[in-house]
C-alpha cells in the first residue's frame, strides 16, 4: 500500500467538520510515522506558501521535489494541501503538534525541515518570508540558530557555508573528531536509516542534497588541513 493510499485513508477517517490537525492525534504509533511525516511536510509547506502570498493549486507540484507522487495519487496530495491551506489554525500550532509527536527525536524533525527547504527552493528563489517562516519552525522544533544556519547553507545559494558547521564540529576540532562526525552523518543519511525514523520511501531523495553537502564539507576540510 502506497503512502498516498494510507494518507487517503487517514483523511477519510476525519469526522465532518474536523480539520487536518485531528489526523496527528491518531498517528502516534511507529507504523504511522511515515504518514505523519508526509502530512507534516505538505501541511507546513502549504502554510509556508500561504505566508509567502503565492498560493495556487500548482503549488502541489513543488512537493515533487521531495516526494515521488504518481499521477493517480495527486488527488490525495492535493487534498492534504488544500485542507492545510484552508485551516484557520496557524503554522505555529501545526509545528508544535508535530514537535510533540516526535518528541526529542531530532532526526525526523531535521528531515522535515530539510523537506520544507526543498519546497521553498523549488521555484528557484528564496524569499524573506520563507526564511522567517522556516527560522520560526526550526525554533519550535528546538533547533538553535547554528543548527538552522547549518541546514540553510545546504539549500540557499548565497548562504555562507562553513564546512565545520555543516559537520557540526568546531573549527579547532582534531581531524579524527571531524572524520568521526562526517562518518556518523553519512550513516544517518543512509536511506535505510531515514526510513526507520519515519521518512517514507517516496521521499528518500531528501538524502541526496544532504549527502552532497556533507561530503563537500569533508573534502573542503581535508584540503585545508
Q: Tens of pLDDT along the chain (225 residues)? A: 678 888 888 888 887 778 888 887 777 655 577 888 888 888 888 888 777 665 555 556 667 777 878 788 778 778 887 887 777 778 888 899 888 888 888 888 998 998 899 888 877 788 888 999 999 999 999 999 888 988 888 888 777 778 998 888 889 999 999 999 999 999 998 888 888 887 887 777 778 878 888 999 999 999 998
Q: What single-letter DSSP state applies at residue 189?
A: T
Kind plus residue range of the DSSP H or E element containing 147: helix 145-152
Tell me phi and psi for residue 77, to 5 degrees. Answer: -65, -40
Secondary structure of residue 1 in the 3-state scheme: coil
Q: Which of 52, 60, 185 is nearest to 111 (CA)?
A: 185
Question: What's the number of CA atoms in the CB half-sphere (13 Å) around residue 8?
Answer: 12
Predicted TM-score (pTM) of this structure: 0.80
Amino acid at each position: 500500500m502506497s503512502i498516498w493510499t494510507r494518507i487517503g485513508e487517514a483523511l477519510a477517517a476525519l469526522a465532518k467538520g474536523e480539520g487536518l490537525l485531528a489526523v496527528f492525534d491518531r498517528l502516534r504509533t511507529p507504523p504511522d510515522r511515515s504518514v505523519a511525516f508526509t502530512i507534516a511536510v505538505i501541511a507546513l509547506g502549504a502554510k509556508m506558501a500561504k505566508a509567502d502570498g503565492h498560493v495556487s493549486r500548482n503549488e502541489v507540484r513543488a512537493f515533487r521535489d521531495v516526494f515521488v507522487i504518481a499521477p493517480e495519487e495527486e488527488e490525495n496530495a492535493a487534498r492534504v494541501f488544500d485542507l492545510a491551506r484552508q485551516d484557520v489554525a496557524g503554522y505555529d500550532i501545526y509545528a508544535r503538534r508535530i514537535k510533540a509527536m516526535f518528541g526529542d527525536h531530532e532526526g525526523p524533525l531535521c528531515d522535515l525541515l530539510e523537506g520544507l527547504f526543498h519546497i521553498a527552493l523549488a521555484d528557484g528563489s528564496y524569499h524573506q518570508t520563507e526564511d522567517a517562516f522556516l527560522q520560526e519552525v526550526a525554533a519550535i522544533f528546538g533547533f538553535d540558530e547554528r543548527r538552522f544556519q547549518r541546514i540553510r547553507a545546504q539549500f540557499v545559494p548565497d548562504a555562507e557555508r562553513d564546512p565545520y558547521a555543516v559537520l557540526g564540529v568546531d573549527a579547532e576540532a582534531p581531524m579524527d573528531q571531524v572524520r568521526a562526525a562526517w562518518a556518523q552523518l553519512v550513516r544517518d543519511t543512509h536511506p535505510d536509516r531515514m526510513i526507520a525514523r519515519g521518512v517514507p520511501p517516496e521521499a528518500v531523495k531528501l538524502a541526496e542534497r544532504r549527502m552532497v553537502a556533507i561530503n563537500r564539507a569533508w573534502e573542503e576540510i581535508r584540503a585545508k588541513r
